[in-house]
């Protein structure tokens, strides 16, 4: 019996059983979190190329999968919370949480740190407060804390429980509104999340997104003189929109990505610039590092 036939047969059976159990509400999980395990395919592919007997390949593959399951269960430091649970998960129970924070007129800078575990995260709309925050989910709650250091507001948003635990979420959405009078830095630690940022009304300095299996949409405006945008993800789909009158540079050394950069000039193997890069007064710098992903940068 050929190893590859047996192995992929087992994989298909396993995925089919998972789907049926989810369909009948025996378990719940998020397919995006399973996609986050894409490096495991490279390991299994490497095992299939080893010059050993088929049975040894199968045993080694099963041991690797078992080791991965144990790693997730007992040391889920880099895993996304809430990917699976079994039994009664209080389907349909929704919890809503809102919070706003005022700001001191003397402070013109703010930094937002968002722990985007899993679900949908949106920055859309303005407020006369420092920040408006809303979370809706089937279970679990989020917190928002603010401090002031060196005339700068620091806002931290994240789950009440430890993200390293298996928090049981089915639906999960966070919406944030920011004050356009401040200058913002945004730092997002994303798991299996959908991130939608409409930042056109705001003055932005730095944006950093560190994600797993993420879907990212960012629309940037022209109020900022310089914006540094850094995205590091595993498996992702990223769309970035930048104003035509603002110069833009895109850098990416990743080789397993699909790039769609209409209207950009290729400077080197990893660098692309907009035609007005040397003449425009305002600039956006994009650095993209990823595993298997797609990147689109569109000028509007």
Half-sphere exposure of 50 (CA within 13 A, CB side): 18
Whether the per-residue pLDDT at 220 is higher than 80: the answer is yes
Whether the per-residue pLDDT at 189 is higher than 50: the answer is yes
DSSP codes, the chain: --HHHHHHHHHHHHHHHHHHHHHTTSEEE-HHHHHTTHHHHHHHHHHHTSSS-HHHHHHHHHHHHHHHHHHHHH--TTSPTT-EEES---TT--EEEEEEE---TT--EEEEEEEEEEEEEEEEEE-SSSEEEEEEESS--EEEEEEEETTEEEEEEEESS-TTS----SSEEEEEEE-TTSEEEEEEEEEEEEEEEEETTSEEEEEEEE-SEEEEEEEE-SS-SEEEEEEEEEEEEEEEEE-TTSEEEEE---SSEEEE-TTPEE-SSSEEE-TTTTT-SSEEEEEEEEEEEEEEEEE-
Would you state the pLDDT for residue 221? 97
Q: State the Cα–Cα distance between residues 264 and 233, nearest whole angstrom.
A: 23
Least confident of 66-70, 174-178, 181-185, 276-280: 66-70
Q: Are strands 271-273 and 247-251 parallel, antiparallel or unpaired?
A: antiparallel
**Segment 169-187 mean pLDDT:** 88
Would you state the pLDDT for residue 195? 95
Whether the per-residue pLDDT at 115 is higher than 80: the answer is yes
Q: Are 218 and 240 in contact (CB under 8 A)?
A: yes
Would you state the pLDDT for residue 53? 79
Would you state the pLDDT for residue 118? 77
| Tokens at 118, concatenated | 């899993």
Whether the per-residue pLDDT at 163 is higher than 60: the answer is no
Would you state the pLDDT for residue 64? 81
Higher pLDDT, 89 or 266: 266
What is the percent of the chain with per-residue pLDDT over 70, rounded to a whole number? 77
Q: What is the mean pLDDT of the chain?
A: 81
Higher pLDDT, 236 or 123: 123
Least confident of 24-38, 102-116, 211-225: 24-38
Q: State the Cα–Cα distance between residues 2 and 55, nearest whole angstrom.
A: 9
Q: Which of 84, 196, 98, 102 is nearest to 142 (CA)?
A: 98
Q: Are 236 and 290 in contact (CB under 8 A)?
A: yes
Which residues are 149's β-sheet partners?
Answer: 152
Per residue in 238-272, pLDDT (tens digit) is 999 999 999 999 999 877 788 999 999 999 989 99
Whether the per-residue pLDDT at 137 is higher than 80: the answer is no
Q: State the Cα–Cα distance between residues 297 and 249, nearest whole angstrom.
A: 10
| Tokens at 93, concatenated | 């129970």
Domain ranges for the chain, please list them.
Answer: 3-35+37-78, 95-299
Question: Can you give 62-110 as a three-state secondary structure string?
Answer: HHHHHHHHHHHHHCCCCCCCCCEEECCCCCCCCEEEEEEECCCCCCCEE
Q: Are 99 and 160 in contact (CB under 8 A)?
A: no
pLDDT band at 26 (very low <50, low <70, confident <90, very high): low
Q: State the Cα–Cα distance between residues 74 and 118, nearest whole angstrom.
A: 20
Q: State the Cα–Cα distance between residues 193 and 117, nearest whole angstrom.
A: 7
Higher pLDDT, 16 or 231: 231
Would you state the pLDDT for residue 167? 44
Would you state the pLDDT for residue 218? 98
User: Which residue is it, tokens 């920055």?
Assistant: 123
Q: State the Cα–Cα distance between residues 49 and 231, nearest whole angstrom.
A: 33
Q: Which of 82, 287, 257, 60 is nearest to 168 (CA)?
A: 82
């Amino acid at each position: 019996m050929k190893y590859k036939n047996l192995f992929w047969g087992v994989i298909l059976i396993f995925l089919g059983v998972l789907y049926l159990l989810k369909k009948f509400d025996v378990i719940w999980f998020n397919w995006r979190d399973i996609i986050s395990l894409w490096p495991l395919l490279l390991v299994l592919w490497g095992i299939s190329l080893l010059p050993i007997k088929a049975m040894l390949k199968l045993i080694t593959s099963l041991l690797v999968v078992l080791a991965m399951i144990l790693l997730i269960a007992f040391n889920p430091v880099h895993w996304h919370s809430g990917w699976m649970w079994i039994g009664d998960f209080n389907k349909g129970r929704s919890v809503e949480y809102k919070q706003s924070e005022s700001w001191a007129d003397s402070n013109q800078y703010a930094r937002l740190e968002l722990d985007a575990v899993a679900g949908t995260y949106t920055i859309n709309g303005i407020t006369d407060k420092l920040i408006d925050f809303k979370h809706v989910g089937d279970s679990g709650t989020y917190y928002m804390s603010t401090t002031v250091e060196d005339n700068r507001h620091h806002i931290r948003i994240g789950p009440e429980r430890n993200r390293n635990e298996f928090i049981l979420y089915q639906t999960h959405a966070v919406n944030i509104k920011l004050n356009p009078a401040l200058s913002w830095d945004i730092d997002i630690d994303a798991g299996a999340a959908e991130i939608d940022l409409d930042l056109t009304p705001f003055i932005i300095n730095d944006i950093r997104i560190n994600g797993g299996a993420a879907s990212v949409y960012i629309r940037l405006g022209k109020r900022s003189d310089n914006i540094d945008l850094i995205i590091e993800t595993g498996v992702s789909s990223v769309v970035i929109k930048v104003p035509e009158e603002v110069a833009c540079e895109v850098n990416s050394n990743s080789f397993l990505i699909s790039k769609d950069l209409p209207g950009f000039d290729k400077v080197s193997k990893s660098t692309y610039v907009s035609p007005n890069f040397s003449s425009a007064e305002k600039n956006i710098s994009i650095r993209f590092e990823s595993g298997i992903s797609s990147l689109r940068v569109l000028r509007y």
